[in-house]
Structures are given as C-alpha cells and as structure tokens.
Structure 1
C-alpha cells in the first residue's frame, strides 16, 4: 500500500490528512475537553481516505465514482465540522496549523471533485 499511496496524490493526501485529524482529535479531547464535535470530525475526516482507498479496488467505473463521491461528501462534512470548531473558538484560525488544515481539506475537496466530474463526463 505504501508504494501505491506514494504514486497516487489523492491517496497520499487523504492518508496524511487522516493523521492530522487524529492529532487534532487528541488535542480537542485532551486539552479542550470537547468530545462530540471532535468525534464527528474524527469519523468523517478519516473516512475520506478510507473511501478513496476503497475506490482503488472498485469493480467498475460506476463503483469507483460512487466511492469517490462518498469521499467527497465526507470531505465536505469535515470542512463543516472544522468551520464549526473555528467559529466556536475551539481552534484558533490564526494558527498556521489551522490555516494549513483548511488549505488541505479544500485541496482534497477540489481534487476529489475533479476526479468525480471527469469520471461522470466520460460515462455519458
């Protein structure tokens, strides 16, 4: 899996993003004592990479697009929870780590959206 990930941008980005989300989850639960939103964030933030990874074993183009569409939805949900954490002051939007986190999730959303759209266009 390591070789495949290093050769596939979205596999690598979503995996690395999952690691960051796990780190943020630990911070939120241990330091901020926030358990509800952080759990939601952990689930959807790590689900992006799981669905992208699952899409690699798709049995058809339609199956691939379906899995990537789920990854897209999870990424957008992740962005929602991150915005909620930022706007409720659990995370500081001025910190570089937080800025990088938002840049990364937006990059992931853009990549997955392009993958899904290009797959749907070629199916028609």
Structure 2
C-alpha cells in the first residue's frame, strides 16, 4: 500500500504490527479481551488519519486528527496494561510505545499547522 505522507505510513505500519500482535495474543497467549481493545484503538489511528486526509474541510481534518490522537492515548493505556499483566515483555512494550509516541508527535504537529481561528470560523 502506497502512503502519501509520513503519518499515513507510520500509522499504517503501526496498525499492521497491532494486527499481528492481536493474532499472537489470541492464538498463542489465549488472551481475548485486552487484545481486542488494543486492536480497535491501534488500527483506528490510521483509519482516522485517512479520514482526515480525505476530509471535506479543515474542520474535518482537525476533528479526525483529534480522534486519532485520542486513539493513540488509548492504545498506550492498553500496551501498558498488557505489559503490567505479563502479556508483553519489556522490550516489546517499549518498542510499541516508542512507535506510538512518534506517531502521536506527528499528529500533534499536523494539528498545530491549522490556526485555531480558522477552525472557529468554520463552525
């Protein structure tokens, strides 16, 4: 899949990794609840980025990036919980959190490019 920018690329790559982790947690660790939560929010980041890029106006763009950022925060919670409950080792958790932090930084940077006054005028 070709991505047009870095946040598309990173969020898609993160989603692929999350799907693979989900499969592992379900098939090998027999964990069915927390893994679904991580799958949902971990893949939602990229889906919201795609929706933001395809949005009809700056307000749509901003709103979808805000949702993607919230999903990233939720994913961080589930990763930490899976680590704390011994489903992830320290290396795996740190690797996921590092990737997530980079993506979240990019989301914030993209949101900051929009001027708050422009957003207010759109309402």
Q: TM-score, normalised by structure 1?
A: 0.89
Which shifted more, 33-42 or 112-121?
Answer: 112-121
5+ residue gaps, structure 2, are none
The Cα shift of 1:102 comes to 1.2
Q: CA RMSD in A?
A: 1.5
Secondary structure of 2:78's match? helix
For residue 19 of structure 1, what is the aligned residue in structure 2? Answer: 16
For residue 87 of structure 2, what is the aligned residue in structure 1? Answer: 90
The Cα shift of 1:121 comes to 3.9
The Cα shift of 1:29 comes to 0.6
Query: Would the aligned equivalents of 1:44 and 1:77 in 2 still touch at CA under 8 Å?
Result: yes
Determine if the alignment matches structure 1 residue 50 to structure 2 residue 47. Answer: yes
Determine if the alignment matches structure 1 residue 112 to structure 2 residue 103. Answer: no
Query: Would the aligned equivalents of 1:65 and 1:120 in 2 still touch at CA under 8 Å?
Result: no
- Distance in 1 between the 2:98 and 2:11 partners? 13
For residue 73 of structure 2, what is the aligned residue in structure 1? Answer: 76
For residue 40 of structure 1, what is the aligned residue in structure 2? Answer: 37
Secondary structure of 2:113's match? helix
